[in-house]
Amino acid sequence: MDLSSRGTPGAPPRVLQYRKHIRAMEKPFKYFMFCYFLLFFMMAIFYFYSLLQNNIISIVPLLGAGLLWIPLFLEYKYIIRPLAISKIQVYPDRLFIDRGKEKIDIPFDEIKEIKSAVNKYLGGWFKVILKNKKSYRFTIALERVDYIIDGIIKFNPLLLNDDDYKKLRKNLILADHCWARCYDFFQKKNIAIALFYLLLIPAILIIAIYFKQQSEFLIKNPIEYFGVTSFLALVFLGLVGTIFPFLAFVFINKHADKRIDENPNNKARDQAYEVKIYRKFLPLYLATLLIYFACIYQFDLNAVSFAYISKDAKYFAIKASDPLWVDMKYNCLDCKHSLKKGDVIVTDRLLLGKIVAIPKEKVAISNRDDEGRFMASTEEEEVPLNFLAIYAYDGEIVLLDIKDVKGKIILPKSN
């Protein structure tokens, strides 16, 4: 690259500002600080009024609220507001920063060093250090921050060697492109597309699985069922929503990297190529989504729940603190996943029991005496329809309505 022609900051200089989300948060944060101060002021009045009434109350909440306000105020005053109101222009020999009442001129001939830490995916910053030891930091949150480095190096090419300059400049441009693509997501058209693929299609698959599974076992608690299924869907979307965009950005940045090498002054995004990459990833996303939900249905992953029993079950050597995996598709009789004798089940009240007899079988049921103690029955009786005879958590044989069964314990191994 020809060092004498680095950068093309034009005239009149372009006004650079920090990104929209930073500018947008300045006023809400300001109002939040004002409301917080009013709350603190009212707490102070209440505290001193209580002292006048000879009521002793703790000053800790008041001090805590006051101390918390200080870092919030400093963050607003020295970070959020200065960034939000900053307007920066790059002139041939200097950098001008307008921060409302504060005007800052940074002559390029006063810059003695440039330090940087920029990643094309994660962003970063570079810092200019002046001869008077003052320093100014510029982050990738500043739109088109590469204009600044172009202007500085065009004025004094000796501040960075050619390789370091090209690497820094390229990373700044590519990081800026990444931010721009993130902003593209929030356009109305793109949000509609995202909602269709990320919400509507998974929702249709969840409903389809529901109608299929309800014919195979009883879904006694639809809220819990949809909660578990939706959680599994969110885990998938979280992983895919992280991995796929990153892979797409890798391909896009590789293409943009090549274009900048061919023409250093071409900083524009190749949006046609970006759309082409997204369209290639779309079939892969849909295939992965279908495979994932097919696995959920095939292995009944959404019918597995995690629970703790409400009381220690000494008969089963399981404590209330022991984690239990519950297979909720085993909660009925005469269905695809029927309960059978020997199964250890957990009830909706999170009590354990081991099935010893099913309807129409005979078993000796334990009875209570007048003082509430269990006594072994000497006579067998037939288990009624829709009931099970179980060894309860305390080892006694009792009848349990089938509708109270939450599912079968699958971990740890039942005794």
pLDDT for 413 equals 52
Model pLDDT, residue 143: 92
**∠ CA(297), CA(302), CA(304), 5° rounding?**
125
SS3 content of the chain, % helix, strand, coil (to 5): 50, 20, 30
Q: How many CB atoms lie within 10 A of CB 49?
A: 10
Determine the pLDDT at residue 375: 54
In this predicted structure, what is the pLDDT of residue 9? Answer: 47
Q: Where are the domains of the chain?
A: 8-183, 187-299, 305-411
Q: How many CA atoms lie within 13 A of 319 on its CB side?
A: 2
Give the pLDDT confidence score for residue 2 in this predicted structure: 44
What pLDDT was estimated at residue 277? Answer: 94
**Residue 158 per-residue DSSP state:** G
Give the residue carrying structure tokens 């008969």.
315
pLDDT value for 206: 95
Q: What is the pLDDT of residue 51?
A: 77
CATH class of 8-183: mainly beta
The pLDDT score that the predictor gives to residue 313 is 82
What's the pLDDT score for residue 414?
A: 46
pLDDT < 50 regions, the chain: 1-10, 370, 372, 414
pLDDT for the residue 411: 57
Q: What is the pLDDT of residue 1?
A: 45
The length of the chain, given as a count of residues: 415
The DSSP bridge pattern shows strands 374-375 and 367-368 to be antiparallel
Of 341, 342, 323, the C-alpha closest to 412 is 323
According to the model, what pLDDT value does residue 50 have? 79
- Nearest-Å Rg of the Cα atoms of the chain is 34
Report residue 200 as tokens. Answer: 């509507």
Residue 356 and residue 89: Cα distance in Å, rounded? 82
